[in-house]
Amino acid sequence: MDVSEPVAARNPPDPAPLAVDDHGAVVHTPVMRERITALLGPALQTPGAIHVDVTLGMAGHASAILADCPNARLIGIDQDADALAIAERTLHRFAGRFELVQARFDELADVLDDLGIAEINSLLADLGLSSLQIDQRDRGFAYAADAPLDMRMDARNPRTAAQVLNTSSQAELVRILRRYGEEPHAERIARAIVTERAREPFSRSARLVDVISAALPAAVRHGGGHPAKRTFQALRIEVNGELDALAGLLPDALGRLAVGGRIAVLAYHSLEDRLVKQTFAAAISDAAPPRLPVVPEPLLARFEPLTRGAEKPTADEIASNPRAASARLRVVKRIRPGHVPILKEAR
C-alpha cells in the first residue's frame, strides 16, 4: 500500500487493466516484499504458524510469505471488498491455507476471536492507500483526476469526503487539515471551502482542487508538490478514521503475538510513522524506573527491535516503483510473555 501519488493531468487516460498470470491471479509487486518476507519468515516455520495481513490489498505480500513459508496459514483482513476479490484470485494456489475477512484492521481482536485464534506468529500492516485504490479513479482518492469525492476504503462506510466538506464547520475543517494533512494554510483553504459550498455543495474532486489552488498564495501554488496533496490526505484519513484505527490496532496486535512472533508496519507519512515509532519504543523498553540496578522480570521489555529505526526501500526499488519512495518499515519481535500495559497509552 502507499499514500503517495504521482501528479498527472486533470483527466489522464484510464489506467491499464490489472496484469494477471495464466491462472487469473493479479501480478503485483508490493513495497519491500523481499525484506518483509525475510524479517517475518523465521516466525512462520512451525507447522500451523499463523500470519495475519491486516491490509491484505491484492495479496502481494501475503502470497510471497505463503510461498516462502510452506507451514504458514494466512488470515487476510481488508475493509475493501474489491481488494478481497482480487486477493482471492491471487491466492488461488494456496487453497486451504488462508481465510479472508472483510473488516477494518482495528477489529483484529474480534476477527481472531471469531476464528478461535488466541495467538499469532506474525502480522503485517501496510498502511495508507493501495495501488488499486489510487488507480480506481471513481473512488475519488486521486487529486490528479476528476472524480466523485468519495474516498471511502470501505463502501459500507456512510460518510464520504463530500459529506465532510459540505457539513463540517469551518473550525472543524481547519482542525482536519492541520491534524491529518499538516497543512500550513488550513485556515485559508477551510474559509474558501465554506464560501464555495454556500454557492454549490462539493461533489467532485476537480472543483475542490481548483478551490484549494485559488486559496493558496502564488508561491505555494507554483512551488514543489501538488497544492491539493495535503488536503486530500487529510480528508482521506478523516473519512476512514485511519489514525484512530492504527492506534487501536497496534496494542491489540502486539498483545496477540506469541513469544518469537514478529510484527511489521509499513508507514508512508509522518503521522502514521510517529504513532508506530512511539508504540514500538514503549514495547521494547523496560518499565522499571531509571537507574534501577536490577530490573525485575515483570518490568523487563517484552519486545526487541529487528530494524534499526525505520528502514527505507532501496534506490533500485524506488527507481522501479516511485510509489515506494516514502515507505518506512519498522519491525519488532516478542521475546517474553506477559502483558504490556503501557501500550494502551498509545491510543
226 assigned ligand-binding residue: no
82 assigned ligand-binding residue: no
269 assigned ligand-binding residue: no
What torsion, rounded to 10 degrees, do the Cα atoms 243, 133, 93, 46 define?
-10
CA dist., res. 243 & res. 275, Å (int) = 8
Estimate to the nearest angstrom the gap between the alpha carbon of 60 and the chain centroid.
15
CA dist., res. 216 & res. 218, Å (int) = 6
Q: Smallest Cα–Cα separation from 242: which of 152, 173, 114, 164?
A: 152
105 assigned ligand-binding residue: yes
Are 281 and 293 a contacting pair, CB within 8 Å?
A: no
Give the chain's count of helices (H) and strands (E). 14, 7
41 assigned ligand-binding residue: no
Sheet architecture: strand order including 328-334: 98-102, 73-78, 50-53, 120-126, 257-267, 328-334, 303-305
286 assigned ligand-binding residue: no
Q: Which three cell numbers stand for residue 214?
A: 485559488
The 3-class secondary structure across 92-112, one letter per residue, is HHHCCCEEEEECCHHHHHHHH
Q: Smallest Cα–Cα separation from 75: which of 91, 247, 337?
A: 91
CA dist., res. 117 & res. 53, Å (int) = 14
In a 13 Å sphere around the CA of 346, the CA atoms on its Cβ side amount to 28
CA dist., res. 45 & res. 1, Å (int) = 26
Question: For cell 512551488, what's the residue?
Answer: 223
Are 86 and 66 a contacting pair, CB within 8 Å?
A: no
Compute the residue count for the chain: 347
78 assigned ligand-binding residue: yes
Classify residue 259 by its DSSP letter.
E
Annotated binding site: 59-61, 78, 105, 126, 133
Annotated binding site for S-adenosyl-L-methionine: 59-61, 78, 105, 126, 133
